[in-house]
Structure 1
Amino acid sequence: MTAPRDLVAYRLEPTASDPAAMIAYLTLDDPDRRNALSDSLLDELLDAVSRAAADTAVRVIVLISSHERVFSSGGNLAAFADSRPPITKYAGLSRFPTLFRTLTSIDKPVVCAANGDVLAGALGIALACDLIIAKSSIRLGCPEISVGAFPFMISALIFRATGRLVANDLMMTGRLISAAEAQTFGLVNEVVPDDDFDGRLREFVDGIAARSPLLMGLGKRALAATRDMSLDAALDYLQAQLALAFTTDDLVEGVTAFKEKRTPHWRNS
């Protein structure tokens, strides 16, 4: 019996600044189904993210697709209308919030390399990442309403990324927008011509990987913790985190390297 093929490929590449530091590329690899977010694919993706998060050599995690034109088509529509009992379908829904929470809570920066269309539930995955870099030719959107569904699970992420009217437009009309339009709405960090995408992605990721992994982790945890706090509570928490940063060797090393006009050597302490 042939073993089932992996739906998410895991690959490590050394960073430009430090051969011992790695970038983890997690490639959605179910092209025949346009990387539909089946239970199996989501389970593999969550495992791969957790694996990269636990690897001390990994500085940055990149989500990307093997499909020529589609990052992911979103939720598996066939599963929406199958004959499984509702309680079974409901139990499977936890995969999306678990993945979203994991992406936002891990210490390492996660980059969505949108090298194809980002649709429906996949838009939620992209927005749960810390940064999104997109090919100029791609489209983004949540067309679920066109098939009698609604993007319930990803609505919280869309509302946190853009304005209410833009979010309502995307969810209620189901229209797809260009990468350039997505950037004006604050849904994408950078749009790159297709022919330049691979090179710019590597440059983009290497730049992030060159930063202190310790301070990056402290900062990302602070962002996650204060996102929904009141201003007063957030300021108190952030003051404490800044005080903690002052105790690290990496902060001293970063300032010293800047003054000496050299590349810092992070100690991760």
Structure 2
Amino acid sequence: MAEILAMPRADQQALLRVEQADGVLRLILNRPPANALSIDLIAELQAELDRSAADSSVRVVVIAAQGKVFSGGHDLKEMTAHRNDADKGEAFFEQTFEACGKMMQTIVAHPRPVIAEVNGIATAAGCQLVATCDLAIASDKATFGVNGIDVGLFCTTPGVALARGMKPKHAMEMLFTGEMIDAGTAREFGLVNRVVPAEYLTQVVNKYAQVIVAKSPAAIAIGKRAFYQQAELGLADAYAHASRVMVDNMLGRDAQEGIAAFIEKRKPQWSEE
């Protein structure tokens, strides 16, 4: 096991704990019990995502959480306090949703795979965070919901992520009813990839992360970007775009090295990207 390069911050009250080892960056939400996505926590996530995108030593990002709740979504107490502002909170609400949307888009645009490690409740924007990550692995104790409708607030922004990762009727069922679903149903709906016993969750996430770390970082970055780009195109345009990316990928150093290593029956030596 490699030495931890960035230990958790000395201040145990830090909103976000940051760990890095063996090519894996772990971002741990640290606002128990709800791990609510306050404007400050969103900003810290944004900063770490931006930093790690330019750090070649980071090959996989894992977003996890401290405690029994992955994230309860936006900090409704923080938002309610701003109803006393002169504009009744409008500017702060805009700031919050804009910052959260930017952070979610940064996950999608991040050159590394981002994995959600979910061991507890993920609701509203917390569920949105899970849906936005490239992969999600949940414990058998995890539950999920977009329950803003219960307080008169339709989870429209979480719906953006749900609509892109689930069948429309599954997404609408969650959005309309606000009902929680268990981890098994979340897997059936396409919200998570795997459901594992809680005691093995981190071990399984680390296993998946290390499998990815062993792959070509250049190919991963190219492929992730192309996957999301082609998903927004019509069929013919998607194939045209994907074909061009495949050509560029084939011309790259890592594809040449990887194919040669396969033919020569040896381990490939990947570039740093």
TM-score for both structures, normalised by structure 1 = 0.91
Q: Which residue of 1 aligns with 2:128?
A: 124
Give the whole-Å Cα distance in 2 for the aligned partners of 1:268 and 1:36: 36
8 Å CA contact 1:135–1:191 kept in 2: the answer is yes
Q: Aligned AA for 1:186?
A: G
Match of 1:141?
Answer: 145
Return 5+ residue gaps in structure 2 as ranges: 1-10
1:210 aligns with 2:251: no
Equivalent residues of 2:136, 2:194 under 8 A apart: yes
Q: What secondary structure does 2:59 align onto? A: strand
How far apart, in 2, do the equivalents of 1:250 and 1:100 lie?
A: 29
Cα shift at 1:268? 3.8
Number of the residue aligned with 1:91: 95
Q: Which residue of 1 aligns with 2:196?
A: 192
How many corresponding residue pairs?
A: 258
Deviations 1:56-115 (A, max 9, x none): 111001000011x11111111113333233223223321111011100011111111112
Using the alignment, how far apart are the partners of 2:180 and 2:270 within structure 1? 43
Which residue matches 2:76?
77
The residue that corresponds to 1:12 in the other structure is 20
| Partners of 2:79 and 2:92 within 8 A in 1 | no
Structure 1 segment 210-229 matched on structure 2, within 5 A: 210-229=214-233
Q: Equivalents in 2 of 1:199, 1:259: separation in Å?
A: 33
Alpha carbons 2:130, 2:191 under 8 Å: kept:
no
Cα distance between partner residues in 2 of 1:152 and 1:222: 26
Where does structure 1 differ by over 6 angstroms across 4 or more consecutive aligned residues? none
Distance 1:4 1:64 in 2: 16
Query: Residue 162 of structure 1 corresponds to which residue in structure 2?
Result: 166
Match of 1:57 in 2: 57
CA RMSD of aligned residues (A): 1.6
Query: How far apart, CA to CA, are the structure 2 residues paired with 1:268 and 1:51?
Result: 17
Partner Cα distance (1:268, 1:248) in 2: 12
Percent identity of paired positions between Structure 1 and Structure 2:
29
Report the equivalent of 2:236: 232
Query: 2:29·2:35 contact (CA, 8 Å) conserved in 1?
Result: yes
Q: How does 1:170-189 map to 2 (within 5 A)?
A: 170-189=174-193
Change over 3 Å in CA distance of 1:91–1:197 after alignment to 2: closer
Separation in 2, partners of 1:91, 1:266: 41
Residue identity in the other structure for 1:204: Y
In 2, are the aligned partners of 1:249 and 1:268 still within 8 Å (CA)?
no
Structure 1 letter corresponding to 2:26 = Y
The one-letter amino acid of 1:31's match is P
Q: 1:4: how far off? A: 9.5
In the other structure, the counterpart of 1:18 is none
Q: Which residue in the other structure is 1:30 paired with?
A: 31
Say if 1:5 and 1:195 are closer, same or farther in 2 by CA, change over 3 A: closer
1:44 matched residue in structure 2: 44
SS in 2 for 1:26: strand
